[in-house]
Structure 1
């Protein structure tokens, strides 16, 4: 087919076609976005109007509910019985209390609901309408309550608080009682406590979450009871403690912080879902967005806050955006479909040609790759053979180094071994001469006893020589089950004289473990560690060498060797296993013992660790496998 017939229907060059597609997609998104914004703005406006109307009705109802008993305080302040009680001398007040209580009870029964009581100028409740119930306020000291302090100053006060007797919150209306005959002096305070339960029930009946907060931004009532006494903003603990003590009878305040700007809420503020993450409003189905509106209750100085769910607005806006973009999207998709059909037909023909050429190139590459792989296999075989040879050489060198270390240890202990054997040989010579003399005298019993002792001493010499021959024998590493306790005893035997000379106390574990390793090489590791420990304890007041074993992770055994020597400094720990590093004087060591010991242990799946010991000294941990490694 000619090239002119293979172009897209738009007959535009590829760069221009790409720009056209991008432009159409941008226009489609813009149409949807504009529709969403317009619908959302209209929905927010309607929601704001509905929430504002609801707030006005709810605010008027609650304001009327909590303040409908406000005039009672004036009636109490005008009562002659109450005035007589307040003006009576302290010793005669009991004569007037019954009449004042009866008046307050009658007034309360007639009005039905509120608690009415009278305080003297010290804040003591001297008359009350609740004298017939168990938790009466009569005799309670309310001098610390803000409503009393404000009324005592001559100002009527309306205040939410919790008294210390009934622990029941309420709306307190306090009015000073004045004595007109003595320059209108305050002689007492008349208080009416209105219940807030009716207002709280009204809040719970609301569909949207609703709060009532006071001037201190503390939630007094809520449609969700668990948010009572929450705060809108974080406040200092001392401020909350003071308000709780004065107004809420010790209730905990501010345990929950809602983080709402109450002043911004007067005009309406949107709370996004991200704002609520970890916030107390999670209970209000925290995945939602809310429109928060507030109104002031003029008669109480409270504010009422309503949370209106924005989800219906968002859903409606998304629906309008979808519908607005659908028509434009259908046209766009139709054009793109026609263009893509032509492109796919052209690409299919091109792909067939490319596949044929790629198949030819692949066959050539397979042939070349086969030759390369054959050469790589040959080189790999040569490398494997060379690595096996080097590994054998390294293992032989390692065995030679281990044997040299064994001989070096024996050389260091030669003096002690010669001394032990010399003593035994001297004793054997003396006992042999004595046996000859006793035989000559005919004392066969004494002669036989001397010969028996000679035989025992010869056995002791054999006990000394046999471990030395085993330790010094050159042999490849042979892994098997090894009794760790016996290996420790064999290593200690080589240092028996030095341990006695330096008066070193040796502590061994009560039990034993079986490890999977080479006995001779494990003994060499222990000899190195014991020799280092003996050298470290020279001149120490306490010389103790301790061995302990315990199970380690992954089915391994941990054997610890602990001395009471000079310990390990941080600098020593940093270079502990480096070759040729030593803390001994020049000529006393090459600094290869610990490095060699760790290499030996790692060869059969173990390890060597070093650390300072508790209470001073050094602690080395020999980690050994207890089962053959797979």
Structure 2
């Protein structure tokens, strides 16, 4: 029997709406789509701007920390210059002795400058003339220059420590100057000169020019000191009087013309983020032919420098993302409406298929029972496998936790073994420092400055001894990756020997260098190589202390593996065969109890291996000890 047929008069189309209602429905849908798109755009735009604000704030934190570390790392140097007797004697000396005193002060400043690695250090008299300088050996030195017009000099001679950005008129190199008044104790602490250090900003410039988005460093006078793009350097945020700009150019920028470009950017409220558009005359410097794009300007004051960092983040990507989200929202709503219409149509068509589906239901039920039986078996197998996987994961977690506990227990055990030795090593220097500092204070009260100076020198030696005790412990507890660069081996050896200069003279040690500075260059970390050399030199001096002839020799050659072999040979008592076998084991030492922890050589070898080197030891020909420092050649890093 055929199924009943529905009369054609009873069939209703799902879209059979009257024409006026159909037009209103289409208009209503259009309005809904438009409102949804606008709402999605605004929400996405606000979210994108907030994310960009947070990213810009994080970038400012990183840039601020890097700039502060690079600029202010030499801020304490003028204090060391102020305390030097050669500098004070030069400022006290009459004109007929000035040349002799100047040479002594120049050598001190040069040695201090070589040790610090880069800054220019000089001394001004009360008239603002440079009377001593670390660059005296160069033809374009600062000696005799009149810097009385510099703001930092005027502040310092009034007794106020000063710091300023300026460009010197000799080399026309920008830098950050730290100035400190020099006082004369014999003249009731009257100011007799000014100690100045110029900290270079080359690293800051390199970091700054690497910025992809526009970025500025602005001083308190709204003058742009550094900028990306570089065309904005020495521009001003807003227009300023010509007389003011000329005065600033003479005082701080060695006559450099300022304000040739006015950025015409208002940064009010930029600390929390402000949307700005660059003026038309600046757009080609950033992105030619891109139009007036919006930027999010974020500003941050750099503490201690009177500088302001400004970063401009391009908001075009935020707009594109917001438009994309709006389009996706409209598309999603359209898909939802189409899905609803499709479901309604499907339900209408399903009514005609119910009878056919009923006939297939019995067959489907039988098939489902069979599938269900198979599924139960498979589910049980899967459940069993999951339980095994979970048990294995728990076992691995338990093993990993046990391993971590064993590592931590071993580390705590080592630190516990070291605690008694460290306490003993530090207690004696601390007691001596307490006694010597009290005596120095009493001698200074009596006016015996020379005796107080000797006591303070001993305190300095004891403090260095304590640092040498704590340093290996810190290195043992926490290791950091080495950063390799081109290092002059001769200069590294000289820097290490400089720290032992007084001890070398006192013990009458003969130092032999079988190479010259600049002859051999390795690819390694400079500071860590010096740390290794300081440890080897200190051990050599200890080993030679009771020897009648004390000789310390340095030489370098190419090893069979292609690395640079730096040999350190002493004339001490040498090693026994048993000592050589255990020399690089932690806490093994050939010194008397209480004189060392036995970590120096172990840590030194780990330091060298961090950047591809190594440390070997053995007896020296003719007696004594010979250590060989293997270093990667320059070609391995530069390639």
TM-score (norm. length: structure 1): 0.49
Q: Based on CA coordinates, which of the two structures has the bigger radius of gyration?
A: 1
Using structure 2 for the length normalisation, give the TM-score.
0.48
